[in-house]
């Protein structure tokens, strides 16, 4: 909302207005405002939740300190959502297709999670929204994101001139997203292309085109590649969203890991949206993706601010209102910066949590069928509860998982050079 105003002020030569053109300034403003909202205004929301007795209903699973959390306010994901949307609406270009996708994802999954929490709290149904309904909601989101990414003509990439021998890099002036100019861009003479390419980690010349998967069927121009592209994007969004939901089982775990992941996404988005860095790193340049840096900054601030209230012992839980949304925006962010194949590294904790649940479930079914009595591979799933059962303190588990996520985030960034 503020961007057009400051653009006009810049045009009339108003002193200092030009600073708003810089992504770094707007990202800084977004993280500060989101921190303020989540820490200051968040306190008022927590009091409101307490007053209305919107508390967590705890089922006794025999975990240390578990029953002490009974009655802790839930639906705190509303704090995160508000803390994200307000800075994003103020500091980003709202005509940017990527920002519109992120806003839609935040609202859609936040609403889906809110319905689930509402059923649990007000309808006294501990199961909440059925798994099928959640899955349908996530699939619809994945389908919409995939269709926009595939068919919207504003979703384009540029590859360096070195990968296009027919184009010669001239000395023409090239204008970057932040308003600065350069005469040395390797993308100056390369046309933007609407493509289904993505990035493969640890591989030189590391672009992979989903269209290649249909060419063996005789689809030489890749016009039928959406039959492959759309299901893959749906799967990624559903998997990461559910992974974050499963991770939200200890005080501060989902919030802390998501904050670290968001920092890595912000760095990747900045590098991909800056022609100089994209050329240096030999990665695809994605025009207008720099706005995602502002969104990611708001996400970081919202998570850190919420962590203030959610760290052990938690004064509020995010509920599915927050956890489904966090996983969804992380997945969609990775998709639009063409780094979705890095998700297993970047979101390793989410992956481990999900795999532990799958192993536990199928191992129980297998042993029940073979021995007539179901056995459990882990003491309890998801895996963070396994460590609780082994006697580890909740806070120690959370901090170690966050440390693992930090290492994974660093490795994710490093993959841009290790090939």
Phi/psi at 225 (5° precision)? -65, -15
Q: What is the pLDDT of residue 295?
A: 98
The pLDDT of residue 388? 92
pLDDT given for residue 3 in this prediction: 77
Q: What's the distance, Cα to Cα, between the start and end of the chain in Å? A: 41
Model pLDDT for residues 354-409, shown as the tens digit of each residue: 999 999 999 999 999 988 888 999 999 999 999 999 999 999 999 999 999 999 99
Which sequence spans correspond to the domains of the chain?
25-56+66-157+224-340
Residue 88 · residue 30 · CB < 8 Å = yes
Which pLDDT does position 35 carry in this prediction?
96
The pTM of the full predicted model, rounded to 2 decimals, is 0.91
pLDDT at res. 174: 40
pLDDT at 133: 94
Ranges in the chain, pLDDT < 70: 55-62, 64-68, 160-191
Question: What are the C-alpha distances in Å from 349 to residues 234, 244, 268?
Answer: 20, 9, 19
SS3 286: coil
pLDDT at 29: 95
Secondary structure element (H or E) that encloses residue 198, with its range: strand 197-199
What's the rounded Cα separation, in Å, for the pair 409 and 240? Answer: 16
Is the CB of residue 146 less than 8 Å from the CB of residue 229?
A: yes
Give the per-residue pLDDT at 170.
Answer: 37
Q: Quick one: pLDDT at residue 65?
A: 62
């Amino acid at each position: 909302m503020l961007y057009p105003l400051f653009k006009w002020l810049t045009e009339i030569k108003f002193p200092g207005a030009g600073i708003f053109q810089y992504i770094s300034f707007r990202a800084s403003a977004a993280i500060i405002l989101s921190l303020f909202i989540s820490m200051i205004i968040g306190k008022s929301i927590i009091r409101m939740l307490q007053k209305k007795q919107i508390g967590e209903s705890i089922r006794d699973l025999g975990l240390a300190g578990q029953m002490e959390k009974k009655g802790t306010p839930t639906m705190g994901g509303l704090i995160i959502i508000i803390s994200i949307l307000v800075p994003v609406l103020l500091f980003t270009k709202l005509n940017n297709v990527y920002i519109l996708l992120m806003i839609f994802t935040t609202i859609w999954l936040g609403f889906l999670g809110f319905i689930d929490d509402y059923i649990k709290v007000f309808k006294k149904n501990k199961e909440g929204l059925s798994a099928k309904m959640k899955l349908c909601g996530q699939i619809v989101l994945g389908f919409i994101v995939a269709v926009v990414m595939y068919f919207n003509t504003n979703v384009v990439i540029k590859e360096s001139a070195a990968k296009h021998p027919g184009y010669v890099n001239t000395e023409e002036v090239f204008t970057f997203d932040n308003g600065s100019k350069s005469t040395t861009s390797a993308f100056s003479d390369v046309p933007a292309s609407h493509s289904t390419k993505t990035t493969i980690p640890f591989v030189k010349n590391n672009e992979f085109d989903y269209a290649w998967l249909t060419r063996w069927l005789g689809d030489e121009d890749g016009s039928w590649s959406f039959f492959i592209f759309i299901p893959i994007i749906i799967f990624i969004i559903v998997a990461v969203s559910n992974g974050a939901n499963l991770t939200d089982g200890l005080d501060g775990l989902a919030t802390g890991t998501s904050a670290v992941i968001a920092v890595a996404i912000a760095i990747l988005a900045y590098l991909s949206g800056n022609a100089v860095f994209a050329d240096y790193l030999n990665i695809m340049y994605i025009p207008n993706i720099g706005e995602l840096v502002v969104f990611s900054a708001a996400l970081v601030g919202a998570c850190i601010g919420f962590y203030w209230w959610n760290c052990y012992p938690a004064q509020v839980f995010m509920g599915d209102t927050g956890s489904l949304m966090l996983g969804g925006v992380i997945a969609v962010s990775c998709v639009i910066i063409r780094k979705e194949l890095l998700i297993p590294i970047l979101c390793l904790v989410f992956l481990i949590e999900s795999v532990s649940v799958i192993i536990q479930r199928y191992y129980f079914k297998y042993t029940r069928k073979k021995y007539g009595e179901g056995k459990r591979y882990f003491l309890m799933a998801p895996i963070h509860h396994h460590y609780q059962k082994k006697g580890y303190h909740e806070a120690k588990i959370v901090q170690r998982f966050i440390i693992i996520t930090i290492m994974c985030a660093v490795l994710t960034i490093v993959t841009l050079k290790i090939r």
